[in-house]
Structure 1
Amino acid sequence: MTGAMDLFELRLGVYAAESVTNELADKARSLLDEHSRRAPAVRAWALSSVPGDQPAEPGSEEELSVDELYEELPEQWRQEHPGADPSDRRVTELRIGAYGDGVQELLDELSRLACPELDHAGACPVPWSADFTLPIDEHYRWYLEAHYEHLRGGGAIG
């Protein structure tokens, strides 16, 4: 996407306690604020925290839930903590709609919020997974416009 302003969505799925997820969301907001001050990286953005029982892609015919999309994250945690009580950990997706450029750079920075040292040995303390959606075809363009068209006007929500 280098050089082309467009809508995109970043997704960070985590298996963590609500307090940890909220801390990650706050860090993501700070990161996005920083990017929105630097032209042309991110002109506008919206961040939402989506619980596991919600659709992974609203409006999709697949009807996959966030829990189903990130089903490997609780399993990763259980493998690293055999017999331990997961307590209040749950799957949550931080969903960031943005109007801007530099999606890969921003995704890399978002990933480092979940795991500051991406090349470390062993499992991460908080299991996570990151991805993005680009307007590569009609379906994804419709999805992004339906959820984030308002961002073309500027500003931050979330």
Structure 2
Amino acid sequence: MSENPGVWEIRVGVHATERQAREVVERIQRLLCQDPDHAGPCAVPWSTSLTESDDYPELHEQYEIERASRD
């Protein structure tokens, strides 16, 4: 493995409402930077984004299975 830093993308798929998804993003942001009011940039630069995606069909399927089991 290379010891040189680079940009890595970590994708997380969630089956949620937009409000719930935004709450997840906020929690992740707090994990990455526990003190958002600190001076200067974070020691490890990071960013987050929220986009609607159909890239996770298994999440839709799992949601339907879970929902059917509760009915």
Q: TM-score, normalised by structure 1?
A: 0.35
What residue ranges of structure 1 are gaps of 5+ in the alignment? 53-66, 85-158
Residue in 1 aligned with 2:49?
48
Percentage identity across paired residues of the two chains: 30
Matches of 1:16 and 1:82 in 2, distance apart? Answer: 17
Question: Which SS does the other structure have where 2:10 is aligned?
Answer: strand
Give yes or no for the alignment of 1:72 onto 2:62.
Answer: no
Runs of 4+ in 1 over 2 A off after TM superposition: 1-4
1:17-32 mapped onto 2 (5 Å cutoff):
17-32=17-32
Tell which structure's C-alpha radius of gyration is larger. Answer: 2
Matches of 2:30 and 2:69 in 1, distance apart? Answer: 36
1:64-143 mapped onto 2 (5 Å cutoff):
67=54, 69-82=55-68
Q: TM-score, normalised by structure 2?
A: 0.72
Residue in 2 aligned with 1:13?
13
Question: Which SS does the other structure have where 1:13 is aligned?
Answer: coil
Question: Which SS does the other structure have where 2:4 is aligned?
Answer: coil
